[in-house]
Chain A
Amino acid sequence: MIHIDGSLKVRLAILLLVMVSILGTLLMIEAYFATQRAAQRAYDSQLEAAALTIAEAVQWEGADPVVEIPAAALQILATQHQERVFYTVLDHNGDRLSTNLDIDLPHTSRQAAALAPTWLDLVHKDTEWRLHGQEYDSAGWEIQSPVQIWVGHTLRGRKALASELFDRAVIRFLAMVLLAATLMVLAMRVALTPMRQLRHQLRRRQADDIRPLDTRVPEEMREMAEALDTLFARQRESRDTLLRFTADASHQLKTPLAGLQSTSELALKSRSPDVWYQALEEVHGGTQRTSRLAGQLLSLARLRHIEDTEALVPLDLKELLRSTVLEWAGREVAIDHDLGLSALPSTPMTIRGEPWGLRELLGNLIDNAIRYTPAGSEITLGVESCSDHCMLFIEDDGPGVDPEGLSRLFQPFERVGRQDTEGSGLGLAIVDSIAKRHDAELHARERLPHGLRIELHFPLHEEKC
């Protein structure tokens, strides 16, 4: 089932948005302070110019300095923003020679201005002011003491300039973000082209086209392309298996059917009831074998297609084994063989499994052993407990299988060179399928001095371990 979990584009966009927002906030904070500084510098220089203009107008008349405030200085102070203006000229004692507003200057600022040009922000009657103070040397014929000049204005122009500069910075940033976003969308389209091409290629494929991919993909998509290729390969493999299975099954069914046909043809040519009777017996045996073969094919096919593992229930393997062997021991086919159980452990062997599947498995193993061993052979089944799993085994003292044949033992229709019996070669393949459904490991090995031993290792049910 495919769940659509968001979009790569949206995810990229959100990531970028978050990053741009963080970056933008930092940039805007920086821009805010930078514009404040720039506006401050621009207007501070006006204050300096005004102070200098006033300083130029200071003259000594005898013992008193006289300041004829130049109108230009006030115009400079007011700026084009029509600020309210303040000026004061202090003599060396700190007495006011000339002033227009009664703003009280802090003593510390006056002292600081005596040493170096000073800047001062203060609030006078609910209005913010920025003041500049500087001391100027001036010499008369009688007295040579410096005068201190303070000028100041309100902050309208500074605020207007700062906000104008800041607005421009914000607009520039937003324009940049928009442009970057547009380019990003374009870049994303270009970058995702290989994905789109792959999609188109897959969509164009015929339903039964499972050849490997033939396309160019970037490094990042290599794994996906390879995974797709692996999937195709597995599909091919399973289809081949299916075809082989079908071919083999048809072949297996054809042989007994051909036998039946020839037997019945021969019998039809004869007029003797004895011949008819003999042929009928042969036909009866043949149909029995054929229907058994068909039953086995059916169960194998069913096992391969049922994927439902929900049916697994905890069960005691020991009890299942005992009941199955007892049932088989009573059957007619087992009369010539010595079918027996080895000593069973006292504790229950609980595994998760399907009762019918396990009975089928045991039946096939026993049936197989009976078919491929001569009469009188000893067949022993047992179950043993290992550290984290339990082992089910079946062994016989028949002729056994040569070592090369062991590996092919569990493939369908494989009889490992034994064409003498009436088996179909499907029994162990069914065993293999059922074992796989139970996560059990299947091993076949030689039994010394002769014979075959098949082991099944089941994982124990967790709760009982």
Chain B
Amino acid sequence: MLRSWVLTGLLFVSLTSTKGMAATQLVVEAALDRQVVAPLLAAFEKAHPEIELTYHDRTTLEVDLLVETSSQAPDIVISSAMPWQMNRVNEGYARRIDSQPAAQWPEWAKWRNEIFGFTFEPIVMAYRLDLASYMLPPQTHADLHTLLRSQQESLKGKVTTYSPSESGIGYTLFQQDARYTAKFWDLVKALGNAEATLELDTQSMLEGLTRGDYWLGYNLLGSYAMVWAQQHPEIIVQVPQDYALVVMRTGFIHRDAPNPEAAEKFMNFLLSRDGQHVLAGKTPLFSVHPDIIGPYTAQRLRDQVGDRLYPITLNASLLAFVDPQRRDAFMARWQREFNQQRELPQGPESRK
């Protein structure tokens, strides 16, 4: 009798203690490959053992929808689709962070102290080494245009780039390209003539290049491409010499986050020296932090390619990219230019 009471008591104590230890939950919904950020997540869990981290790797579209529709709001929302993230923040779904790392974060990489760009990923061109034996590899956007026109026959079907209708990041990149120069549409026309294949992500493009399906890729995420090129010597990564776009992964704490304190700890870790150090040293994602030293930092990249890096800054102009009418108009123009020379337009389906 007595023994059973003692047992029950012990059981109760052990139950409450484990429950107490795992009291803080943290749910991160991210459009960011889990294996890429694994070192970062591990470092966070080591620094904050009291927080039980749940990390869901999803597509940008899923992440964006979860912000609005999820019955249980996520704590942290991370995505590379900057305009959609900005739109959610503008709708008031983000929570302001007033910590020291947040205050010291570079102005161009944050908005309202609510959303923060915490990686620095240049957009690059990639080509197979074989290409160089047939033609002069492109170094700038203009080179690419010339090459596509002069070597139209040999490059037919051998070029790949993002699909603007199915990839949020691809759409953002082309919108940004179009903002810089009207000649962009000539490039689109040339890509169409070369019967370029539209892929959903950088990984597919890199795999296609390695297999030999493609000779040339345009607008790849430099972070993935550079790591890939280290392991696959047949692939050459070229940072465009006229201008190179830079995208950022952005994260914000959801307004209705169930665990705002844990969420703020996570964001602070992401923006802290420690977090950015892991980012720069153990992941291919470049660090934004100006003080961090490592192979993958914004500073190192600037040293290598000069001042031709054009980050897509976090500001209200990104909201124009998600305006439905503007998007429709852009896609209509894209289809018109891309399919101009083709008999049967086989445009990919619209994103929505």
A residues apposed to B, CB below 8 Å? 66-75, 77-78, 82, 84-85, 97-98, 100-101, 125, 127
Contacts and interface: CB of A to CB of B under 8 A. Distances in A.
Contacts of B179: 71
Interface residues of B, number: 21
B316 A77 contact: yes
A68 B322 CA distance: 11
B317 interface: yes
10 cross-chain pairs, A with B, having the tightest CB-CB distances, nearest first: A78-B316, A71-B317, A71-B320, A74-B316, A69-B323, A82-B112, A98-B325, A69-B320, A68-B326, A75-B317
Interface string B288-316: 00000000000000000000000000011
A125 B93 CA distance: 11
B349 interface: no
A33 B249 CA distance: 43
Contacts of A69: 319-320, 323, 325-326
A75 B315 CA distance: 7
Interface centre among B89, B315, B316, B329 (most CB of A within 10 A): B316
Contacts of A85: 90, 316, 319
B144 to A, nearest CB: 25
B105 interface: no
8 contacts: A68-B325, A70-B320, A74-B317, A77-B316, A78-B316, A85-B316, A100-B319, A100-B322
Interface of B: 87, 89-92, 111-112, 179, 315-326, 329
Interface centre among A68, A77, A97 (most CB of B within 10 A): A68
Contacts of A101: 90-91
Given A75-B317, A78-B316, A100-B90, 9 more contacts: A68-B325, A71-B318, A78-B315, A82-B316, A84-B90, A85-B90, A98-B323, A98-B326, A101-B91
A127 B92 contact: yes
Interface centre among A71, A100, A101 (most CB of B within 10 A): A71
A76 to B, nearest CB: 9
Contacts of A67: 325-326
Contacts of B112: 82, 84
A97 to B, nearest CB: 7
B160 to A, nearest CB: 28
A75 B326 contact: no
Contacts of B324: 98
A97 B319 CA distance: 16
B58 to A, nearest CB: 24
Chain A contact residues, majority secondary structure? mixed
A131 to B, nearest CB: 15
B111 A82 contact: yes
B87 A100 contact: yes
Contacts of A98: 323-326
A147 to B, nearest CB: 12
Contacts of B111: 82
A210 to B, nearest CB: 79
Contacts of A75: 315-317
A347 B229 CA distance: 140
A125 B92 contact: yes
Contact of B92 (A68, A72, A77, A84): A84
Contacts of B317: 71-72, 74-75
Contact of A74 (B92, B320, B325): B320
A251 to B, nearest CB: 103
A68 B90 contact: no
Contacts of B87: 100
A85 B179 CA distance: 21
A423 to B, nearest CB: 108
B86 to A, nearest CB: 10
Interface centre among A67, A78, A85, A125 (most CB of B within 10 A): A78
Nearest to A73: B320
B81 to A, nearest CB: 16
A66 B318 CA distance: 19
Nearest to A77: B316
Nearest to A125: B92
B315 A82 contact: yes
Nearest to A156: B112
A67 B318 CA distance: 16
Contacts of B329: 66, 68
B92 A100 contact: no
A75 B179 CA distance: 14
A73 B320 CA distance: 9
A66 B333 CA distance: 14
A311 B174 CA distance: 116
Contacts of B321: 71
Contacts of B319: 69, 71, 74, 85, 100
Contacts of A71: 179, 317-321
Contact of B323 (A82, A84, A100, A125): A100
